Structures are given as C-alpha cells and as structure tokens.
Amino acid sequence: MNKLAIATAAAAFALNSVHSAPLPEAAADEVGVSQQRLAKLDEFFAREIASKRVPGAVIAIARDGKLIHYKAYGQLDPVKGSPMRLDALFALASMTKPMVAVAGLILMEEGRLPLHAKLTDYYPEFANMKVAVPQHDGSLIFQTQSSAIYIHDLYRHTTGLTYGAPDSSDQVARLYPGFADPPLRGDKQAFIEAITKLPLAHQPGTEFEYGFSTDVLGAVIEQGQRTAIGRLSHPQSMEAHQNTRCHFPFVGMATRAPRASIFRRTR
C-alpha cells in the first residue's frame, strides 16, 4: 500500500529545527512520485500567495517514511516582510474542536461525562440565560429556556450559543464577542461568567449554530476532571514525536516562537 502523508501549514505544531529534516530524505522519483507533478505545488502556492488568500505555508510530503518535499512558501509576517520559516507555528483554530470532542467522548465511554447530563450540573449559571427572539422592528424580546442545555448539545452545536460579529445583520451575533477577543482569554470562570450574561440565539436543542459550544465543553471537561483541557486533548502522536510541538492555548506561548500570520476574512 502506498503511504503518502501530507502535513500542511494549518496546524499549531512545527518542526523544532530549521536545519534538520523530520524524516530521512529522498528524491521523489526514488519512491515513485512524479517530480513534475510535485512541482505544481510551487505554482499553486505562488497563485495563492499572489491572490492574498494565504500569506504563506509550510509543506512536508513523505512517502514510505521518506521526505520528498519540505519547503516554506511566502511570508511569516506580511506586515514585517519576514519570510516563512520551516519551524513556523500555525494556529489550529477550530481544528481544536475535534480534539476537545474526542477528549469528552473518551470520558463519556468511561462513564464520567454522560451525554444526557445537564450543562447546569457543571455550571449552574447557564440556567439563567434567556433566549433572544428578534422582532421586525429590530428589537429583541427574551424568553426563558424551553429545555435545558444537555452535554450532547455541546457536541452538536445546538446549545443556542453563537460567535460574535460586530457588523452582522443578526442582532444576537452583535452582542457576542468574537471567538478570539481579548476578554475571553482569561481564566475559565471568567469566560463562563461572561458568556452566561448573554442571550442564546435559539432555544436549546432546536437549531445548529456554530459558536462557543465546544469552548464550553472544554470548560466542562476541566471542571469535571480538575485538569487543564490541553493535558486531556493534547494529540498523543504530536507529544510522542520529538520533532513537533503543540501548545494549548496558542495565545499563551512564548513570544520568541515564530508564529505565522493569517489573513482575516472580511464580511
């Protein structure tokens, strides 16, 4: 079976050294890969960078345990003009959601975090949240919750929690902070206190709404296990590999780490 592994730059891990490759290297044709087709990556990233879809990327491609392509493209920081580095760190962003979900499901299988448990069993503050209902005149009326928020709602994004968007046409979204706003970078209890002062966008269990549900799931896991979510959801494969590093949270890392910039999408 052909084993072709591609590691893209959309992750918060990086290779520790810019001077050494993470795997033994080989020419593409030595392992049955077309060098001509591999070269199309250069053309692709040249277009992506020129169109400002991404500032840069780090790509590693291996086959049968042999590294055949290992290259940095574009810029680490477009504002400063610094070139991309092979040891750059990239934010995982929402890819931490499956990590947190897996950590929660492991606890569920162990009987320690039932799917049908109520969120208020862990954080009573959520019982006080109202549901905001937009009116034709642009105002909001607030209703009591018709159902409790359950742990399974956190996995399904059916809690009624949303993400903030200051320029959104949605009145409720305008009340919420953005997913990476500074007020949410404090401790767990500060986050819970801030989020439960806001209204829900929908009645619990009724509609999918991509938002802070997984963040709250992480807080529930920490509350129940009395340990940081990073310790529970840290990818074991990354932890075991001496040439990678993965950090939770990304915002708390040392400033000397070469962090890659991203372009913010405008609405």
Let me know if 51 is a catalytic residue. no
CA angle centred on 183, ends 115 and 122, rounded to 5°: 25
- Of the residues 34, 94, 146, 147, which is catalytic? 94
Q: What radius of gyration do the chain's Cα atoms show? A: 22
Give yes or no for a contact between 150 and 115, defined as CB atoms under 8 angstroms apart: yes
CB 30 within 8 A of CB 67: no
Structural tokens at position 185: 């970078």
Q: Which of 73, 48, 12 is nearest to 234 (CA)?
A: 12
Q: How many CB atoms lie within 10 A of CB 153?
A: 23
The residues assigned a catalytic role are 94
